[in-house]
């Protein structure tokens, strides 16, 4: 019975979080169809493990050494800009290095989308990374928590 309930919960919880990403262009990147790509590192965390951070959902996606897919990530992130309630973008020579969106969402839940191009951000990695997060937390609080 416990197994059934836990399965049922997961079946309900996963589509809900996926649904929240679906309105985003970046959601297409995060929807799971790149998971088996050898250039990708995909980390997805849901629920209580994130309580300390004030988050309910965390999903990071890093692409290494795949120029086409890296460009796809950059394009998807830029396409989501109009959906941002708040945003901070850092560009160098017209190229996006890093960015953050706080996305519009119902209720107290905040959604955040972070982006970083590690090729341009002095990290000497041929990689780009995007992180999507959800939680009942403000950006300032999130910053404080991650700074710890």
Partner 1 sequence: MKNDNKYLMEQELMEAFTYAEGADIGMPDVDAELLRVRQKAAKRRKKPSGIARIASIAAGIAVVFALGWYINSGVSETENLHADDSKSFCVAYVAGERMTDEQQIMDMMSEDIMNMNDGCDIIDTQLNDFFNE
What's the rounded Cα separation, in Å, for the pair 116 and 98? 4
Q: How far is the CB of 146 from partner 1 (least distance, A)?
A: 4
CB of 45 to partner 1, least distance (A): 4
Chain residues binding partner 1 by CB under 8 A are 2-7, 9-10, 13, 35-50, 58, 60, 62, 88, 90, 92, 97-98, 100, 114, 116, 118, 121-123, 129, 131, 140, 142-144, 146-147
- Distance between terminal CA atoms of the chain? 40
Distance CA 133, CA 113 (A): 6
Q: How far is the CB of 73 from partner 1 (least distance, A)?
A: 14
Q: Between 24 and 100, name the residue whose CB sits nearer to partner 1.
A: 100
Q: At its nearest, how many Å lie between partner 1 and the CB of residue 88?
A: 4
Choose between 104 and 144: whose C-beta lies nearer to partner 1: 144
**Residue closer to partner 1, measured from CB, 27 or 62:** 62
> How far apart (Å, rounded) are the C-alpha atoms in residues 41 and 62?
5
Minimum CB–partner distance for residue 49 and partner 1 (Å): 5
């Amino acid at each position: 019975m416990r197994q059934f309930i836990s399965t049922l919960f997961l079946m309900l919880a996963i589509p809900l979080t996926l649904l929240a990403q679906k309105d985003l262009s970046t959601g297409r990147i995060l929807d799971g169809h790149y998971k088996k790509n050898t250039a990708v590192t995909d980390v997805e965390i849901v629920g209580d493990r994130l309580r300390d951070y004030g988050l309910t959902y965390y999903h990071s996606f890093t692409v290494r050494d795949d120029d086409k897919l890296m460009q796809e990530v950059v394009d998807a992130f830029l396409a989501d800009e109009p959906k941002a309630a708040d945003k901070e973008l850092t560009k160098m020579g017209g190229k996006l290095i890093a960015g953050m969106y706080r996305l519009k969402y119902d209720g107290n839940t905040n959604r955040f989308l972070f982006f970083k191009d590690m090729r341009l951000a002095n990290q000497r990695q041929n990689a780009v990374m995007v992180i999507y997060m959800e939680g009942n937390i403000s950006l300032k609080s999130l910053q404080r928590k991650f700074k710890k």
